[in-house]
Amino acid sequence: MSSTAGKLVTWKSELDLDHHNLEDYLPSGSSINEPRGKLRLRDLLDISPTLTEAGGAIVDDSFTRCFKSNPPEPWNWNIYLFPLWCLGVVIRYCILFPLRCITLAIGWIIFLSLFIPINWVLKGHDRLRKKIERVLVEMICSFFVASWTGVVRYHGPRPSIRPKQVYVANHTSMIDFIVLEQMTAFAVIMQKHPGWVGLLQSTILESVGCIWFNRSEAKDREIVAKKLRDHVQGVDKYPLLIFPEGTCVNNNYTVMFKKGAFELDCTVCPIAIKYNKIFVDAFWNSRKQSFTMHLLQLMTSWAVVCEVWYLEPQTLRPGETGIEFAERVRDMISLRAGLKKVPWDGYLKYSRPSSKHSERKQQSFAESILARLEEK
């Protein structure tokens, strides 16, 4: 299989096979030695498992690389650099980390001492209460960013509260929300999480109109779709933020955008987020690491360096479908942040295709090869 996969690495692009040498991959045999015009589909189906297995290895590699964290290159490899590395560890863990914990603790004390009383005292004054709660949410997010020694540069006009508009961004980690929220209090669409994150979602973040869903519940999709439409039409609602990839990607690629955010009959405002990995990789692999451990990783690094671009608002063009609109916006974000586009659905990260689906793809693959050879 390894030799077959080695032959298949000649790509027209990262994802398109160069079909000019497909005959080289066909095994010798009486059925294949027939004139090309008489090559039959069953002949190709006989060998298609081998080709599919080899191609599948390449496809699987191009898919899984979107969700892999690339460890930094080791630099403490000699007697001169190792002492410096040890000194850095002492500074980060024994000096910076305690200071950052104190900073975050102070932020929470200030936040809770104001948020809880205001929530009770101003119950009948919704407009004023929401305004103060918005400022407090932005403040606690700023404390979170400070606890990582976050260096964030924002480019473009600051988001404003306007009806019939939605903001969409590429997704690397749950900290994307914190980075954006410290600048503007967004109402975000987010997966419901357990533990202390879920507690914050159901209490504090409810105050800015965030919408939660459970990926495994089919009914949640209908409820969320209705809430989205209602929120977009609201005049005094917070700006709506959606991560249309639906999962965290490692900030080197963008996977397919879900079309739901692009079928709301409203203006779409793209946001491109790019993290500099010089000090730490901000990608959160939720399958291998809890969010608490992810935060600890950030808090024990030197700094989190990030660039955020608020791009030009986009509207649906005449004759353009929701999928085409989503791809056009993804092109803008990918280009601005320097990310590579791949044609994968991010939800495949959580579930693999069924065997019947794989068989259909295998037959389709064999038919495409046959058509190519007949053309020649």
The 10s digit of each residue's pLDDT in 66-101 is 888 777 777 777 788 888 889 999 999 999 999 999
Answer yes or no: is 220 within a domain: yes
Phi/psi of residue 245, nearest 5 degrees: -70, -25
Among 222, 201, 192, CA closest to 137: 201
Answer yes or no: is 12 within a domain: no
Is there a single domain that holds both residue 195 and residue 323? yes
Q: What pLDDT digit, counting tens, does each position of 241-256 carry?
A: 999 998 899 999 999 9
The reported pTM is 0.76
- If you average pLDDT over every residue of the chain, what do you get? 80
Q: Which amino acid is at 216?
A: S
CA 69 centroid distance within chain? 13
Is there a single domain that holds both residue 322 and residue 363? no
Is there a single domain that holds both residue 172 and residue 55? no
Whether pLDDT at 205 is above 70: yes
Distance CA 222, CA 229 (A): 11
Is there a single domain that holds both residue 188 and residue 274? yes
Is there a single domain that holds both residue 277 and residue 364? no
Distance CA 283, CA 288 (A): 11
pLDDT of residue 232: 82
Is there a single domain that holds both residue 150 and residue 191? yes
Q: Which amino acid is at 150?
A: G
CB 137 within 8 A of CB 182: no
Is there a single domain that holds both residue 319 and residue 243? yes
Answer yes or no: is 105 within a domain: no
- The two tokens of residue 149 are 């020694």
Least confident segment among 11-20, 204-213, 220-229: 11-20
Under DSSP, is residue 151 helix (H, G, I), strand (E, B) or coil? Answer: strand
- DSSP secondary structure letter of residue 94: I
* Residue 289 half-sphere exposure toward CB, CA atoms < 13 A: 18
Is there a single domain that holds both residue 176 and residue 248? yes
Is there a single domain that holds both residue 294 and residue 205? yes
* 44 against 263, higher pLDDT: 263
Cβ neighbours for 249, distance < 8 A, ≥ 6 positions apart: 66, 67, 170, 171, 172, 255, 283, 346
Is there a single domain that holds both residue 326 and residue 229? yes
pLDDT of residue 360: 64
- The two tokens of residue 291 are 């969010």
Distance CA 48, CA 252 (A): 32
What is the mean pLDDT of the segment spanning 338-366? 69
Q: What pLDDT digit, counting tens, does each position of 134-150 carry?
A: 999 999 999 999 999 99
Look at the chain and count its residues: 376
Q: Quick one: CA dihedral 320, 325, 331, 337, positive or negative? A: positive
Under DSSP, is residue 246 helix (H, G, I), strand (E, B) or coil? Answer: coil
Whether pLDDT at 376 is above 70: no
Range with top average pLDDT, 195-199, 202-206, 255-259: 255-259
What is the mean pLDDT of the segment spanning 218-236? 76
Answer yes or no: is 71 within a domain: no
CB 172 within 8 A of CB 285: no
Q: What pLDDT digit, counting tens, does each position of 18-35 carry?
A: 444 444 444 444 444 444
Answer yes or no: is 251 within a domain: yes
Is there a single domain that holds both residue 270 and residue 368? no
Is there a single domain that holds both residue 290 and residue 171? yes
Q: Between 126-146 and 97-121, two packed helices, what is the crossing angle to 10 degrees?
A: 180
- The two tokens of residue 209 are 């109109």
CA R_g for the chain: 25
pLDDT of residue 361: 60
Please state the domain count of the chain. 2
Answer yes or no: is 98 within a domain: no
What is the mean pLDDT of the segment spanning 337-355? 76
Answer yes or no: is 102 within a domain: no
Instruction: List the domain range (segments joined by +) for residue 50.
Output: 17-60+355-374
Whether pLDDT at 8 is above 60: no
Answer yes or no: is 88 within a domain: no
Percent of the chain scoring above 70 in pLDDT: 74
